[in-house]
Amino acid sequence: MNITKEILLETHQRIKPFVHRTPIMSSQLINEIAGFEIYFKCENFQKMGAFKMRGATNAILQLSETAKEFGVATHSSGNFAQALALAAKLQGIKAYVVMPSNAPEIKKTAVKGYGGEVIECTPTLEARETTLNDVVNKTGAIFLHPYNNYQVIAGQGTAAMELIEEQDNLDAIFTPVGGGGLLAGTAMAAHYFSPHTNVIAGEPMGADDAWQSFQIGEIVPQTNPQTIADGLLTSLGDKTFPIIKEHVKEIIRVEEEEIIDAMRLIWERMKIIVEPSSAVALAAILKEKEKYQGKKVGIILSGGNVDLGNLPF
């Protein structure tokens, strides 16, 4: 399936009543540190605290009435789990979420609070997939992948569409990359609505499967990722990677200290809460700031769901 300009426009109209149009903010002090203007698209203020609400909502809204009767299912340890639970609740349908037993309690509690049914499994990808298959077979629920799904990718692209609509002369847009749903959606949005804008990703050095994949032109699976950016631990998908390969200019790797420094900068200077995965994109911007002197750069702050009992500063 191609994600066309029309599909993105239809997606934006479809999800509008169910998601927030998040604010775009800037910081004079961060601009001075960088040497150029940075526009922060604050998806940390999105419903359930992350951009994933967009993709989950878009996918659910396109289910048939018959399919909705059986509900939806996914496996996720974090933001997509919460997004699917809330999006399903708003449509009055059931959500089954397979979560690893070691997922933060705060995230399990949030999924349950949104009306989702949490099914725990041992913390391996194999166990997640096996448990999910059991749930789908037992309930008839429709499996919605957290990122490797074109409807989800199109939904995630609407954040960049809004950013471009308000700031139409951006030289680049930065996002973090994990499974690639946000990056792929952003790349398609820029391709159609701001073709002169480069799309660039930040990625932790300790979880750099996307960077490796980008270098050799084929998917390198994520193995034993080690990073504070807990939203970026997944491998690219066969739907996200081809889009990234064709439409993304660069993936920049950043160290853990750079992620923590960027996260602290946003908290202290902008007075907003972002999770480590969001800070990865700013860390990448600041690492390559010489390239953008005097230019205008957008950044998608992907989310603000932080374990406040486990801060890195």
**Residues 6 or more apart from 300 whose CB is under 8 A from it?**
41, 43, 51, 159, 160, 163, 173, 174, 175, 176, 182, 186, 281
Long-range contacts of 45-48 (CB under 8 A, 24+ apart): 45/20, 45/272, 45/304, 46/19, 46/20, 46/22, 46/303, 47/18, 47/19, 47/20, 47/86, 48/79, 48/82, 48/83, 48/86, 48/110, 48/114, 48/305
First to last CA, the chain: 44
Q: Which of 89, 105, 80 is nearest to 97 (CA)?
A: 80
Q: How far is CA 32 from CA 29, 170, 294, in A?
A: 5, 18, 11
Q: What is the DSSP annotation of 98-160?
A: EEETTS-HHHHHHHHHTTPEEEEE-SSHHHHHHHHHHHHHHH-PEE--SSSSHHHHHHHHHHH
Instruction: Let me know if 77 is a catalytic residue.
Output: yes
52 catalytically annotated: yes
Q: Phi and psi at residue 143, in whole multiples of 5°? A: -80, 125
- Kindly name the residue from 41, 47, 76, 77 that is annotated as catalytic: 77
Q: Which of 41, 47, 52, 94 is catalytic?
A: 52
Radius of gyration of the chain (CA): 18
Token pair for residue 280?
A: 């990865």
Supply the residues annotated as catalytic: 52, 77
